Amino acid sequence: MNNRDLELHSFVRNCGFKGEDMISVKNDASFRRYYRIKNKNLIIMDAPPDKGESIEQFRIVADIIHTFHLSAPQIESLDTKNGFMLLEDFGQTSFSNILNKDNESELYKKAIEVLIEINRQSKSKEKKLGTLKSYSIDLLLNESLLFIDWYLEKRNGKSVSSIQKKEFIQILNDFYNNIKPQLSTLVLRDFHVDNLFYLSNQESLKQVGLIDFQDAVIGSPLYDLVSLLEDVRRPLKRNLQKKLFEFYIKATNINAQDAEREMRFFSIQRNLKILGIFHRLSIRDKKNNYLKYLPNAVKLLKNNLQDPFFMNLVNWLKQFKNHEII
């Protein structure tokens, strides 16, 4: 047993349980590990601080979500210094587990209503969000550069010069400045069906349980809508996606054309990042199970790059032949 495991078992004992009470849960793309407690609605999060994981950030965002009168796991015990947390377990009823053709539209609409409520509450509790960083163009660009580093260079063996990188950055920067996203709301960043749970013991919007929000920022209300409707893990049929977009537009009364252009930008940025991150997971971390989603990411990129507004990026990509996107 290594030092990290010894620290974990010490935390579990301090919570009143034994090592044999823990059942390992499938890990995600991060360095976090999860363990269910047998016969209890509780789960252990192991988030090593030396790997950049933050228990404190999870606690801060959970508190914000609770002030919005929405459902985040209740925290029972935490060790901020060592990165351990005992929290409420939402169980097996993730949207991805229970979605079918009969409830699909209803569940997605419920998730969209949660996003609308988050946006509404963010405006009334602006001071509460002050501790979070903004999803600024600098952060978006840093994420997008993962596409160059891990997809073009390490995966495809392309050589990208410093001048070409500067051109790439300038192109995305120009898109952003033209679109002018409003950074006004709590953005959970991984708002998709794997991270949404149906809680039958709750009512109204609290029926949607939220997890995996420790990287939340202040950003555009449309970013999480893109995460939901253009999810590489579970692509939606075009007609349903269109109906859900119209549902959001009608509920928020925003300009549909402007919203669609902004969503295209965020989808392009998000999928450039995904191509980089998922290849990094495979090459560096030997986690290959995310590679199966890459064709969906490429398809989403191709679809959104058909908009002539993004032609400069298309032309930039044409410099690098023999890849799937162009």
- For the stretch 172-190, pLDDT in tens is 999 999 999 999 999 999 9
CA 303/CA 308 separation, integer angstroms: 11
In a domain, 289, yes or no: yes
Domain end call among 43, 60, 88:
88
Considering the domain architecture, whether residues 186 and 291 belong to the same structural domain is answered as yes
pLDDT digits (tens, 9 = 90+) for 191-240: 999 999 999 999 999 999 999 999 999 999 999 999 999 999 999 999 99
Considering the domain architecture, whether residues 54 and 117 belong to the same structural domain is answered as no
In a domain, 177, yes or no: yes
pLDDT at 198: 98
Considering the domain architecture, whether residues 112 and 35 belong to the same structural domain is answered as no
Considering the domain architecture, whether residues 135 and 244 belong to the same structural domain is answered as yes
Considering the domain architecture, whether residues 119 and 71 belong to the same structural domain is answered as no
Q: Which tokens go with 299?
A: 């398809």
Domain end call among 39, 54, 88:
88
In a domain, 323, yes or no: no
For residue 166, give the H/E element and its range: helix 162-179
Q: What is the CATH number of the domain that holds 81?
A: 3.30.200.20
Nearest to 301 by CA among 278, 277, 324: 324
8-state DSSP, 20: G
Contacts of 34 (CB under 8 A, 6+ apart): 24, 25, 26, 27, 43, 44, 45, 46
Q: Which tokens go with 222?
A: 């449309």
- Number of folded domains in the chain? 2
Query: Is it the case that residue 269 has pLDDT exceeding 80?
Result: yes
Nearest to 89 by CA among 30, 32, 44, 27: 44
Considering the domain architecture, whether residues 43 and 156 belong to the same structural domain is answered as no
φ/ψ (deg, to 5) at 302: -60, -45
Considering the domain architecture, whether residues 8 and 58 belong to the same structural domain is answered as yes
Produce one character per residue of 239-277: b if its CB has 16 or more CB atoms within 10 Å, e if not.
eeeeebbebbeeebeeeeeebebbbbbbbbbbbbbbbbb
In a domain, 37, yes or no: yes
Considering the domain architecture, whether residues 254 and 302 belong to the same structural domain is answered as yes
Considering the domain architecture, whether residues 227 and 117 belong to the same structural domain is answered as yes
pLDDT at 46: 95
pLDDT at 26: 76
Query: Is it the case that residue 322 has pLDDT exceeding 80?
Result: no
Considering the domain architecture, whether residues 148 and 173 belong to the same structural domain is answered as yes
pLDDT at 67: 94
Considering the domain architecture, whether residues 279 and 211 belong to the same structural domain is answered as yes
In a domain, 325, yes or no: no
pLDDT digits (tens, 9 = 90+) for 103-140: 999 999 999 999 999 999 998 877 788 789 999 999 99
Considering the domain architecture, whether residues 238 and 289 belong to the same structural domain is answered as yes
In a domain, 61, yes or no: yes
In a domain, 26, yes or no: yes
In a domain, 298, yes or no: yes
Q: What is the CATH number of the domain that holds 172?
A: 3.90.1200.10
User: Residue 16's domain spans which residues?
Assistant: 3-88
pTM of the model: 0.95
CA 305/CA 13 separation, integer angstroms: 53
For residue 45, give the H/E element and its range: strand 42-46
CA atoms within 13 A on the CB side of 13: 7
pLDDT at 149: 97
Nearest to 302 by CA among 267, 278, 276, 253: 267
Domain end call among 37, 57, 88:
88
CA 113/CA 90 separation, integer angstroms: 20
